[in-house]
Amino acid sequence: MSADSQNAPDGWQKPQKILVILAHPDDPEFFCGATLARWARAGHIVHYFLLTNGNKGGGPEVTSEELCTIRKAEQLKAAAVLGVRSVRFLDLEDGTLVPCLELRKEIVRILRSEKPDILVTCDPTMLYNWLGRVNHPDHRAAGQVVLDAVFPAAGNVHFFPELIKDEGLQPHTPREVWISLAANPTVSLDVTDTWDLKMKALKEHRSQIGEPRAFELRMRSRHTEDSTDEAPHFEEKFRVLKLQ
């Protein structure tokens, strides 16, 4: 490992188990796909746990049932491009996420069973995004319920003790939480080397991206301000919480 990589915010000394918990199929690739590719390439173990089935992310020409099947298949292909080890779906209906106690328990269950070193989610405070659009309520709800599960519940024996008694799931707190699309990021990663993998993965979400060439041009315009279309550099930003 080089001195630069050791000093990077993700310069972990050994392979990490990384769990990504987000709302929809395609969220991981859009929010932080180049980072996930960077981590998989570095030998870290990345898993997805997606809360909804994406069954409302389309037009009237397709049914909700068809969308569910299409989007799950697209997500599996996209994750494979990035080197993700597994994808699981909680299968809640798109657009219905609420950060309730029942869903918090489901997140605690997955945290205690998977025991990730690093957890990735999104920012529950992001009401509007940088493009001037309203952030999807599922995104905000997902970030909120994941953070509520992380602290104080997942690592505390007195929260959901039935998970210990009935399922043998001992308390676990991830060492770090990486919050993607954060309103106030603390970490910027240079992901220029894996941006092409992000783009390749996003193109697997054919039902979501529209005309592929126009989509690619839009995404490639998101290079850093100090770079150019001819020599672009790309970053993905996070707020990192260190819990241990």
Kindly state the average pLDDT of the residues 25-41. 98
- 149 assigned to some structural domain: yes
Cα 9–12–17 angle (5° rounding)?
110
Q: Residue 160's domain is classified under what CATH number?
A: 3.40.50.10320
With cut-offs at 50, 70 and 90, classify the pLDDT of residue 34.
very high
Identify whether 1 is part of a domain: no
| 115 within a domain of the structure (yes/no) | yes
pLDDT at 5 over 70: no
What value does the mean pLDDT take over residues 185-191?
97
- Please give the pLDDT value at position 1: 43
Beta strand 118-122 with 45-52 is unpaired
Structural domain for 183, as ranges: 14-242
pLDDT class of 174 with cuts at 50, 70, 90? very high
Average pLDDT over residues 200-214: 94
Per-residue pLDDT tens over the stretch 36-53 = 999 999 999 999 999 999
pLDDT at 139: 97
CA proximity to 220, closest of 237, 233, 207: 233
Confidence of residue 2 (pLDDT cuts 50, 70, 90): very low
Please indicate, yes or no, if residue 107 is contained in any of the structural domains.
yes
Inside any domain, residue 38 = yes
Nearest-Å Rg of the Cα atoms of the chain is: 18
Secondary structure of residue 195 in the 3-state scheme: helix
Predicted local confidence at residue 244, as pLDDT = 83
Is the residue at 6 inside a domain?
A: no
Provide the domain count of the chain.
1
Residue 166 lies in a domain: yes
Q: In what order do the strands lie in the sheet with 176-180?
A: 86-92, 45-52, 17-22, 118-122, 176-180, 235-242, 187-190
Pick the closest to residue 193 from 228, 223, 233, 230 (CA basis): 233
pLDDT, tens digit, for every residue of 80-130? 999 999 999 999 999 999 999 999 999 999 999 999 999 999 999 999 877
Q: Is residue 4 part of a domain?
A: no
Helices then strands, each counted (H, E), the chain: 9, 7
Say what the pLDDT of residue 97 is.
Answer: 97
Q: What pLDDT shows up at residue 6?
A: 62
Q: Which of 212 and 165 is assigned the larger pLDDT?
A: 165
Write down the mean pLDDT value for the chain. 95
Q: Which residues contact 151 (CB under 8 A, 6 or more apart)?
A: 173, 243
Residue identified by tokens 């957890």 is: 119
User: Cα–Cα distances in Å, from 235 out to 70, 103, 198?
Assistant: 30, 32, 12
Question: Is residue 3 scored above 60 in pLDDT?
Answer: no
CA angle 92, 98, 99 (to 5 degrees): 115
pLDDT band at 140 (very low <50, low <70, confident <90, very high): very high
Q: Is 132 exposed, middle or buried (0-12, 13-18, 19+ CB in 10 A)?
A: exposed
Tell me the pTM: 0.95
